[in-house]
Amino acid sequence: MEQRHQEYLDYYRVRMRKYENNSLYAHSFESEKKLFDALSQCERLEDFRAKVEGENLALNNAVALVKDQSMARLELYQSIKEFVRARAPRQILDMVDGVHSVGELTTKVNETEVKVGIEISVDQLTWYFYSDFIALENIEVWQTAEIPAEWQHEIRREWVDETIAEGRKLWQNTVLPESRKWSPEWQFDFNLIAEDRHRRLIPVPEDVVQRRIQQFKTYRGI
């Protein structure tokens, strides 16, 4: 066996063993094994190219890796109830066996991830709610704290009214226009706050969340 042939054989053996006994990469291991076996059976290195092309080994190898990665990501996202993020690996798995070239596979995977990436960004607009907690808490304190009489008008009225007016102005002039660049018909969906992927980021009791929702509606003029 020529030295270069042996070097290729060693290379594909290492690639195969990288996935061996790894349950996350079962398809990749089988694919890499087929490549290694195909090369092992070739008397000449030149014969390997014909076998790779004739049996679609390169495409099958790429498909196997994408399939393993997508299955692992889908399982993870489902387990933590990240249902929007789970759309990309699910859609990739639905189409991956139907591609006819590595180029087509790359294009479709990228297109899917970009499309779902926009959906993730839109879903994360829900974060406006809990990013406003400091402002909502300040308003609540100004409205309920014991304040000397001479300061009540300035604090209870001017501070509160100015803060709310600024919050509504920012919502109308900045938040909505920027958000609708991602989704033209976007409106804040209060139902999403209760979804696990958002609710777990808000470390306060449910009664506080419900109170903050009403305050948020007032603050942002929704």
Residue-level pLDDT at 55? 87
Neighbours of 85 (CB within 10 A): 20
The answer on pLDDT for 83 being more than 90 is yes
pLDDT in tens, 1-32: 688 889 989 999 999 999 999 999 999 999 99
* Cα diameter, the chain: 97
pTM of the model: 0.87
pLDDT in tens, 121-175: 999 999 999 999 999 999 998 888 777 777 777 777 788 899 999 999 999 999 9
The answer on pLDDT for 111 being more than 90 is yes
Record the tokens describing residue 164, joined without a space.
């709310």
All structural domains of the chain with their residue ranges: 3-116, 132-220
Least Cα distance to 119 among 200, 216, 197 occurs for 197
Residue-level pLDDT at 149? 74
Which amino acid, 70? S
Q: Quick one: residue 221, left, alpha or beta (phi over 0 = left, psi -120 to 50 = alpha)? A: left
User: What secondary structure, in 3-state letters, does the chain show?
Assistant: CCHHHHHHHHHHHHHHHHHCCCHHHHHHHHHHHHHHHHHHCCCCHHHHHHHHHHCCHHHHHHHHHHHHHHHHHHHHHHHCCCCCCCHHHHHHHHHHHHCCCHHHHHHHHHHHHHHHHHHHHHHHHHHHHHHCHHHHHHHHHHHHCCCCHHHHHHHHHHHHHHHHHHHHHHHHHHHHHHHCCCCCCCCCCHHHHHCHHHHCCCCCCHHHHHHHHHHHHHHHCC
